[in-house]
Amino acid sequence: MFHVKHARSTRPAGSPVANIDPNRSSPEHNGLKKQNPGSNAPGVSLAQIRPSLESAALTAMATALRSYETELVKFASQVNLVSHADLPRLFNRHILPAVAMGAEIRLHPRARILDVGSGAGLPGIPLAITNPASHFVLVEARRRRANFLRHCVRQLRLPNVTVVHGRAEDLHSDLFDIALSRAVGGLQQLQVAVRHVVQPHGLFLTTQQSQGSSEPLDHVSKLHPSVLSTTIASRHRASCG
């Protein structure tokens, strides 16, 4: 198990929750309606990505994702989380593609999921919000970013997320069903970094497959076509020997 000091999860009264009113049922106010591309609103509805969920669950997820977006914007320049140019399009470019990765994850055992080099919390935090039955461990080597991740866990009240400040290679924990990353350079590097904490039949998953890579893959798929033409590459540990 991890030896991590957890801060008490409290949210001050009146703290900002984002620009969605969860009590409004209109799609324009719950983050579920398709908006104009280039705006700061979703470019595709969550309902298109998670069609099996009821409206109340989708609304709660949209609210939490917008709260996360608010925190990203607030701390982006202080902690160097995302580029300034991406701030007006965070939801379309970063958050919804992370959510869409859940379609691949839900095809496999997923009780424990490791996000390697989590950085700004992508894709781990959006996936944790939209897959509450899975427990996510976010590993980040840079202290300021790890502190930001802990802040988000407290602010968003995510009981299924643990943040670890350190290098993935030095991680010692119970085994994970899935190890994922969009910061590590390809499946080979991800496998080398965390193979020691992945189940014998676990899954390595990345959206950063190198151009022209000759790495053997078990599966390559595209994210939801309405989101981005982002490629997901995956390999089972059993295929790696």
Is 7 domain-assigned? no
Is 221 domain-assigned? yes
* Model confidence pLDDT, tens digit, residues 195-207: 999 999 899 998 7
Q: Determine the Cα–Cα distance for residues 235 and 215; give it in Å rounded to an integer.
A: 10
Range list of H helices, 33-175: 46-49, 55-79, 90, 96-100, 102-105, 124-130, 143-156
Report CA-CA distances (Å) from 104 to 25, 62, 232.
29, 20, 8
Is 1 domain-assigned? no
How many domains is the chain partitioned into structurally?
Answer: 1
Query: Model-level pTM?
Result: 0.74
* pLDDT of the residue at 186: 77
Domain harbouring 63, CATH code: 3.40.50.150
- How does DSSP assign 186-228, residue by residue? SHHHHHHHHGGGEEEEEEEEES-PPTT-----SEEEE--TTT-
* pLDDT of the residue at 227: 43
Is 103 domain-assigned? yes
Residue 223 pLDDT greater than 50, yes or no = no
Is 160 domain-assigned? yes
DSSP 8-state code for residue 114: E
Is 135 domain-assigned? yes
Least confident interval from 19-23, 133-137, 229-233: 19-23
Greater model confidence, 224 or 36: 224
Helix (H) or strand (E) holding 30: helix 27-30
Domain hosting 70: range is 27-240
Report CA-CA distances (Å) from 196 to 101, 160, 201.
23, 22, 12
DSSP 8-state code for residue 3: -
Is 31 domain-assigned? yes
Is 9 domain-assigned? no
**Is the separation of the CB atoms in 2 and 162 below 8 Å?**
yes
Neighbours of 240 (CB within 10 A): 15
Greater model confidence, 68 or 234: 68
